[in-house]
Amino acid sequence: MDFLSSHSIAPSKVVRGEHAWEESYQLIPTICRRPLLLGRSNTTAELRQGLAHRLQEIGLKNVSAELKHDCCEADLKRLKTIACNNSCDGVIAAGGGKVLDAGKLLAHRLEIPCITVPLSAATCAGWTALANIYSSAGAFQRDEVLNKCPELIIFDHSFVRQAPPRTLASGIADALAKWYEASVSSGSSKDGLIQQAVQMARVLRDQLLIDGPKALQDQNSHAWIRVAEACALTAGLIGGIGGARCRTVAAHAVHNGLTQLEACHEMLHGEKVGYGILVQLRLEEMIGGNQLAGQARRQLLPFLQKLELPVSLEDLGLSKVSLFELKEVCQFACQEDSDLHHLPFTVTPSSLLEALVAAGKDEPVIIESKNTEKSRAS
Ligand SMILES: [Zn+2]
């Protein structure tokens, strides 16, 4: 009966709300005195300049740096040099998922604390002790487990509200994946923490289905706050409580495969993950013989469409993609160490290809398999 599990559940401190940044002025200097302020896009440049200015005013010498690509080794190497040359004693990462991941990784490697300031609700990267590493061209390579979650996450609603609505829709799709993936990866786990994390993922899904459309319509609603925090905070907490058994399965494996295609690089993380959920459900229906998965997929389709999330290869910008390239996506997603293999049945690249092409179709699959075992209770 003995078992040992070690996981990083949450940042040491979470400050969230309308003026969370200002509220953190007392806290930041207790964590670092010479932070590297990391960001990326032009659209957040002015906001980040404001942050740098305020840090200066509260007596913190800070140096600003930008990610040139996605979170990749070339960027990390360059940032490490900047941090070392300026004797930085902490990293403040302000941006989307790639910036937050790069900030956490940099801090992890330099053994200095990290503060995350998500500038959208597109992912839960500001919360977790995980980082995805990409090639400098944006293709997913691997993820790395970090020794801890950030020291502090500052989730300032006034910052997040400035992000394009598309980032929130993308965050909703990424957070929805928690239920579809965790309920499969946890399997028949006897671990109470895992069981409870999976139930949190179910509640999270239900809230997103109810509040998602309203949140996108009205940024000043309570629904917006619940949804933005669900995507950026709760989704991370579920991964923290559930640990490795409560992580990604096929939806993220399909995302990782899709990032291998240049044509898909303009799509956001959650937009690809959302399509990945449809593919995973199609696989569960097609190979696992799980009719509930088919029903779930057909219910999810109009919801994703309402949020203007991609539900076809065309929507993903892949209308001109060749069969050869789609096969490459499937080969990547089916690699030996892929999370896709946490599905309770074997998936070959050719069956994945079939599901990838047909994931957004609104009709049930003709089930050949006799296996009607349910892999998830709805
Ligand atoms: Zn994700």
What is the mean pLDDT, run by run of 10 residues, along the chain of 378 residues? 81 97 97 98 95 97 94 96 98 97 98 98 96 94 95 98 97 97 89 94 97 97 98 96 85 96 94 98 95 95 97 95 96 96 95 95 65 49
What's the 273 CA to ligand 1 centre distance in angstroms?
7
What's the 284 CA to ligand 1 centre distance in angstroms?
20
Ion ligand 1: residues, CB within 5 A, are: 174
DSSP letter string, 307-342:
TT---STTTTT-TT--HHHHHHHHHHHTSTT-GGGG
Quick one: tokens of 309? 């999330």
- Residue 359: name the closest of 270, 296, 269, 265 by CA: 296
Place of tokens 């999810």: 300
- How confident is the model at residue 244, as a pLDDT? 75
What's the 372 CA to ligand 1 centre distance in angstroms?
29
What's the 45 CA to ligand 1 centre distance in angstroms?
25
Annotation: CATH topology of 13-160:
Rossmann fold (3.40.50)
| Rounded Cα gap, residues 183 and 248, in angstroms | 10
- How confident is the model at residue 366, as a pLDDT? 62
| Rounded Cα gap, residues 220 and 211, in angstroms | 13
- How confident is the model at residue 378, as a pLDDT? 47
- How confident is the model at residue 367, as a pLDDT? 55
What's the 176 CA to ligand 1 centre distance in angstroms?
10
Q: How far is CA 210 from CA 54, 87, 345, in A?
A: 38, 48, 32
CATH of 173-358 among 3.40.50.300, 3.40.50.720, 3.20.20.140, 1.20.1090.10: 1.20.1090.10
| Domain boundaries along the sequence of the chain | 13-160, 173-358
Please answer whether residues 64 and 89 qualify as being in contact, where contact means their C-beta atoms are separated by less than 8 angstroms.
Answer: no
For residue 297, give the H/E element and its range.
Answer: helix 291-306
Please answer whether residues 168 and 216 qualify as being in contact, where contact means their C-beta atoms are separated by less than 8 angstroms.
Answer: yes
Sort 28 into a burial class: Cβ within 10 Å, 0-12 / 13-18 / 19+. Answer: buried
What's the 313 CA to ligand 1 centre distance in angstroms?
19
